[in-house]
Amino acid sequence: MSTAAPASQRVLAQTAFEARAILRNGEQLLVTIIVPVLVLVGLSRVTAIDLDTGGASRIDFLTPGILALAVMTSSFTSQAIASSFDRRNGVLRLLSTTPLGRGGLLAGKVLGVLVVELVQVLVIGAVALVLGWSPDPAGIALAVVAIVLGTAAFTALALLVAGTLRAEAVLALANLLLLVLAVAGGVVIPAEQLPGPMAHIALLLPSGALGEAMRETLMHGVLPAWSVVVLVGWTAALGWGASRLFRWH
Amino acid sequence: MPDSPALEISGLVKRYGGRAVVDGLDLVAHHGQVTAVLGPNGAGKTTTIECCEGLREPDGGSVRVLGQDPLTHARDLRPRVGVMLQDGGLPTGVKAHEMLEHVARMYADPRDLGELTERLGLASFARTTVRRLSGGQRQRLALAAAIVGRPDVVFLDEPSAGMDPQTRHAVWDLVRELRDEGVAVVLTTHLMDEAEDLADHVVVVDHGRVIAEGSVPSLVSSADDRTLRLETTPGLALHDALGTGFDVTEPRDGSYTVTGAVDPDAVAAVTAWLAAQGALATRLTVGRRTLEDVFLDLTGRNLR
């Protein structure tokens, strides 16, 4: 009788498959690694763009936000696009009929994103260190917690759009939403520096919460409770929506 | 439990937006047999198969694969059920061999990939990205993925769509081999020759129900199992040449099909009658009904 490979082996195989698919795809590599690095180098070098760093060095102020942006590109933009095309092409259905199953597929996707994020953090962190970044050592472990929370919220959002909209619509929406959140969502520029009502709204967005959490951990060594509440809340709401509304066909 | 059926569907109902696509369908498939589900487009074949694969939830009736419910016992069934989807389901960005190796990793004891690659002629495009494969190549890769885990039951949704004749025969040989190993093969098709050559059991489905089933010989033969086809002047009242017990149709102008007890006397009567009308038969054949005749009789000749 035919038997399944152990669950750990199945999920690891899917994790490697997902991570390789992203890291080998030129467009995905551009969005997840090259663009964040260019933004980091650009904003830290071009002093013509005025930044209120609150007394911190430009690179110390910018790097946490760029890391938050990078997390959004891999856990949201790239995941939403890949999953929507996989859904359209029947890949999700086919894999769900193998011993991997739907649960294993989801686990593999989330772990695959974490692998990509590890690569992102290493590359962006290395570039930032060369540019003089000195993160608060006490905050590094907390920043990892923030990344995991942010990944959960944005992966849930990615699966919600990928499971409900047409692939072409997801392609447009995922890129547009990334751009809007990056500029007006409190990611690189702190929410309190945004104009008008956005200063308050951004704090409630997962992007603002993640940006805030990354800055507070890596600049001051503390994880703000409010950010944790916002990210957990979004994860619960979006995860609930995705699990109810996701269409496999 | 070699005697219990591999697949047992009873009274299956599946609706999309209130419209019943599958409407009280019953079907049994056994180990060591190829069961072909034959039907026009939109008959409910794919939906039925998807209910068996655990991909769709039935609105009524029951489905048992290897004695278990595909939805509640998915974890037990997945290692034992091989699936080839109609739209492939292959990730497009990876090379063909990477795809197959990936699926193989989901099983404790997968088939030998070298042997499978050779059997299905995958070697020539193993290093090609799935996106750039032809339709037939994708079908072969999807078939390999469906059987790499040594399943006890395989569901193949239109397995030979897009394949050239050589590939199709290679695939048929493989399907026969699976059957001889005791695998229950359930395939959908609208290729009559595929069902005729391959199937031990044919189930004709239309409007979400089974309208006929049996072995190919039992479906094509009945008391009046011979047909006479002839081509001659259009619009003749050919029925006048024959007594009762014959059915005459003229599906195309000048092309007649006579079904019934076509014996030497009947053929003589037809040709004599044509001679009397001054009509020349340009073509005249006598033979058994084909599965296609049966199928068209059952499902109608109209386009839909």
Summarised one tens digit per residue, pLDDT across range A144-192 is: 999 999 999 999 999 999 999 999 999 999 999 999 988 888 898 888 8
Q: Is the pLDDT of residue B1 over 50?
A: no
Interface mutation target, options A91, A100, A102, A249, chain B, most CBs of B under 10 Å: A91
| CB proximity B252 to A under 8 Å | no
Q: Is the pLDDT of residue B302 over 70?
A: no
Q: Where residue A225 falls among pLDDT bands split at 50, 70, 90? A: very high
* Token pair recorded at residue A213: 């959490």
> pLDDT value at position A45?
84
First to last CA, chain B: 43
Mapped onto helix, strand or coil, the DSSP state of residue B35 is strand
> What is d(CA A223, CA A220) in angstroms, rounded to the nearest whole number?
9
> pLDDT value at position B244?
80
Of the candidates B79, B75, B81, which has an alpha carbon nearest to the alpha carbon of residue B7?
Answer: B81
Find chain B residues with C-beta within 8 A of A97's C-beta: 53-55, 78, 81, 83
Could you report the per-residue pLDDT of B237-264, keeping only the tens digit for each? 888 888 788 888 888 888 898 888 888 8
Helices (H), chain A: 7-23, 26-29, 35-45, 58-72, 79-88, 91-97, 101-130, 140-162, 167-184, 198-204, 206-220, 225-245
> What is d(CA A43, CA B136) in angstroms, rounded to the nearest whole number?
51
Tell me the CA distances in angstroms from A140 to A105, A186, A221, B14, one per residue in order: 30, 21, 8, 53
> pLDDT value at position B224?
52
| ipTM higher than the 0.90 cut | no
Q: What is the mean pLDDT of residues A85-109?
A: 93
Cβ burial, residue A196 (10 Å; 0-12/13-18/19+): exposed
CB contact under 8 A, B90 and A89: yes
Considering only CB atoms, B102 lies closest to which of A6, A13, A97, namely A13
> What is d(CA B117, CA B94) in angstroms, rounded to the nearest whole number?
17
Q: What is the mean pLDDT of residues B158-163?
A: 86
Q: Which of B1-10, B152-161, B249-258 has the lowest mean pLDDT?
A: B1-10
Q: Is the pLDDT of residue B134 over 80?
A: yes
Q: What average pLDDT does the structure give for chain B? A: 90
> pLDDT value at position B150?
95
Considering only CB atoms, A5 lies closest to which of B83, B107, B151, namely B107
Q: Is the pLDDT of residue B71 over 60?
A: yes
* Token pair recorded at residue A45: 């070098």
CB contact under 8 A, A5 and B92: no
> pLDDT value at position A1?
64
Q: Is the pLDDT of residue B63 over 60?
A: yes
Q: What average pLDDT does the structure give for chain A? A: 92
pTM: 0.85
Q: What is the mean pLDDT of residues B83-96?
A: 90
Find chain B residues with C-beta within 8 A of A3's C-beta: 79, 107-109
Positive or negative torsion for Cα B277, B281, B286, B289: negative
> pLDDT value at position A139?
93
| CB proximity B99 to A under 8 Å | no
* Token pair recorded at residue B118: 């050779």
Q: Is the pLDDT of residue B18 over 90?
A: no
Q: Is the pLDDT of residue B222 over 80?
A: no
Of the candidates A184, A100, A98, A110, which has an alpha carbon nearest to the alpha carbon of residue A148?
Answer: A110
First to last CA, chain A: 30
Q: Which of A33-47, B4-18, B247-261 has the lowest mean pLDDT?
A: B247-261
CA distance A125 to chain B (A): 29
CA distance A80 to chain B (A): 15
Q: Is the pLDDT of residue B161 over 50?
A: yes
Q: Percent of chain B, pLDDT > 70?
A: 96
Do the strands B7-16 and B19-29 form a parallel or antiparallel pair, or are they unpaired?
antiparallel
> pLDDT value at position B223?
43
DSSP annotation string for B159-217 = TTTT--HHHHHHHHHHHHHHHHTT-EEEEEE--HHHHHHH-SEEEEEETTEEEEEE-HH
> pLDDT value at position B303?
66
